[in-house]
Amino acid sequence: MKNFRFLIIPFIICVSACNWFKSPPEIGKVLSEHFKNKIYKDFDTVAYDSVFVKTLDSLSSGFINPKTVKAFYEENGREPRLVTKFYTNGELDSLITYLQNSKVHGFNPEIFKVEQLKSLLKELSDNQFKKVEETYPVIARLEALSANAYLNYNNFLKYGVVNPRNIFSRYYIKVKRPDSTGMIKLLASESMLDTLKAVQPNSAQYKGLQRAYLNASTESEKRILLLNMERFRWKMPETGSNYVQVNIPDFKLTWFDKTDTVISMKVCVGGKRENGYEDKLKAFAKSGNLDDKPKNHETPLLFSKINSIQANPVWNIPVSIAQSEIYWMARKDPYYLSNSNIKVYYKDRLIGEPDTINWNRYSRDKLPFKFKQGSGNGNALGKFKFIFDNGSSIYLHDTNNKNGFNLSNRAISHGCVRIEKPLEFAEKLVGDSYTYDKLRAEVDLPPIDSAHVKWYKKRLAAKADTTKAFQLKPAWFGPKKAVPLLITYFTAWAQNDKIEYRPDVYQMDEKLWVAMKKFR
């Protein structure tokens, strides 16, 4: 009996080492039960793991987010989680259906390796394997390609295929992009089908463009529609239901309250950059000569909130305009500055008589002066300036050049946005009659409310009193509440059951198309 005991112990150790008493992993159980095939009961996780690592390494160079995919599988023991969870319930088939139908969003299904996925699924479903080892490369490849396709499809529809901040130099809107935490959560989702359904863009704008794209007959029209579908996929900041939008190609400002339009007006925006701008910029970088510096007055795309109104504004003239325009005008006409109500400062001290400055002593690229245009009728900003935080020193403002609003191409400013109806816009912003009448009085307009006539007349009397020096100064007003402002760029959008098209005034469509071509 003792001899028998000594014999059986080594036997138990041996069979244990050979996994005889070890139950198959989850993937083995799932496939064994599904196919009624005993080979899956011998599924060896160590052997599969080695195959999967090599497969993932060979494929990941073509992935958009290889580090995230690898991190997910490292965290989960490199188990084939997608095949285990979504093969037998048909959701991997659903994934392939969505990938094949991605053409409705303007994608080429082959960017998701859809034919490879179909082939791998068929090979697994045919169940012709003789040994379990033959299944490892098929399962490993199906797992890795499914994970990549699933991530890319969801990310493309939820966030867009292109990050606009990477291709446009003046795109300052902080669009949300996919992050590793969200992608890992996506790979760990309990229902692939629910996720694929939920990620479909459902805004009225996107659906309108999509319908037009599927019905479009020419490639040029399809291209414009696709570009703007992509713009509507970008994850923009939350504006709320009440916000102001300036669409540069439309040359229009619109104040939205949900789907209603509160007010709409024409705008003039920054002029487009010079032709050959990139090459000229390189030449300027080498020479440092201002004569080589190309002009770029394009209005930046941004998101902010309008937080104040300045009546009778002062214009702090930018250095670029001082160098390219003010300097030459002052040299040409010694009285240009005083006639234009432009004050000159040297080391922040006001120069009393700017007409006496000898401009020949100064080169325009090293001007030691600052220039400010005072309040009044001649001010380039007109009677109102609407201010919002931004890093480009731009704002919405009135203008003395009202003829600009009659132009079809209104890309004529130095970068700020001139608005057609500043008084109406100010009225909507302040939101009450008392403040609005105070604002009107600052620009010599009579009050709307007769109860405010008394202090309006008092102001006019002070201004007309020749015994006192009346100095016109800026006056500040706060809006009832800060209003979100979005300066954006759409060359096509849905409106009143049809598609509106506008010219690509800054050639941003061209640049976006180049970035999107690899997804076509």
pLDDT value of residue 466: 62
pLDDT value of residue 18: 45
Any idea how long the chain is? 520
Buried b (16+ CB within 10 A) or exposed e, 163-173: ebeeebebbbb
pLDDT value of residue 13: 45
pLDDT value of residue 311: 95
Tell me 235's DSSP state.
B
Give dist(CA 70, CA 78) in Å, integer.
Answer: 9
Q: For the packed helices 91-100 and 135-159, what is the interaxial angle rounded to 10 degrees? A: 50
Q: Which residues are within 8 A (CB) of 325 and not within 5 positions of it... i.e. 6 or more apart?
A: none
Give DSSP secondary structure letters for 260-326: EEEEEEEEEEEPPPPTTHHHHHHHHHHH--GGGPPP--PPPBEEEEEEEEEES--EE--HHHIIIII
For CA atoms 416, 420, 423, 429, give the dihedral sign: negative
Buried b (16+ CB within 10 A) or exposed e, 103-140: eebbbebebbbbeebeebbebbeeeebeebeebbbbbb
Count of CB atoms situated within 10 Å of the CB of 293: 19
| Cβ burial, residue 179 (10 Å; 0-12/13-18/19+) | exposed
pLDDT value of residue 100: 98
Domains in the chain: boundaries: 26-163+192-199, 315-373
Give dist(CA 398, CA 378) in Å, integer.
Answer: 12
pLDDT value of residue 334: 87
Q: Map residue 494 onto helix, strand or coil.
A: strand
**219 touches 212 (CB < 8 A):** no
pLDDT value of residue 315: 92
| Cβ burial, residue 3 (10 Å; 0-12/13-18/19+) | exposed
Is residue 414 part of the annotated active site? The answer reads: no
Element (H, E) at 157: helix 135-159
pLDDT value of residue 287: 87
Give dist(CA 182, CA 2) in Å, integer.
Answer: 61
pLDDT value of residue 3: 55
Query: Quick one: residue 11, left, alpha or beta (phi over 0 = left, psi -120 to 50 = alpha)?
Result: alpha
Q: Which of 105, 268, 297, 397 is catalytic?
A: 397
Per-residue pLDDT of the chain (520 residues; tens, 9 = 90+): 455 555 554 544 444 444 434 568 999 999 999 999 999 999 999 999 999 999 999 999 999 999 999 999 999 999 999 999 999 999 999 999 999 999 999 999 999 999 999 999 999 999 999 999 999 999 999 999 999 999 999 999 999 999 999 999 999 999 999 999 999 999 999 999 999 999 999 999 999 999 999 999 999 999 999 999 999 999 999 999 999 999 999 999 999 998 899 999 999 999 999 898 888 888 888 888 888 888 899 999 999 999 999 999 999 999 989 999 999 999 999 899 999 999 999 998 999 888 889 998 998 888 999 999 999 888 999 999 999 999 999 999 999 989 999 999 999 999 999 999 999 999 999 999 999 999 999 998 999 888 888 878 887 887 776 666 567 889 999 999 999 999 999 999 999 999 999 999 999 999 999 999 888 7
pLDDT value of residue 19: 43
Is residue 416 part of the annotated active site? The answer reads: yes
Q: Which residues are within 8 A (CB) of 342 and not within 5 positions of it... i.e. 6 or more apart?
A: 317, 326, 336, 354, 371, 372, 373, 374
Q: For the packed helices 453-464 and 433-442, what is the interaxial angle rounded to 10 degrees? A: 10
Q: Which of 105, 268, 297, 416 is catalytic?
A: 416
**253 touches 246 (CB < 8 A):** yes
For CA atoms 220, 226, 232, 236, give the dihedral sign: negative
Give dist(CA 177, CA 172) in Å, integer.
Answer: 14
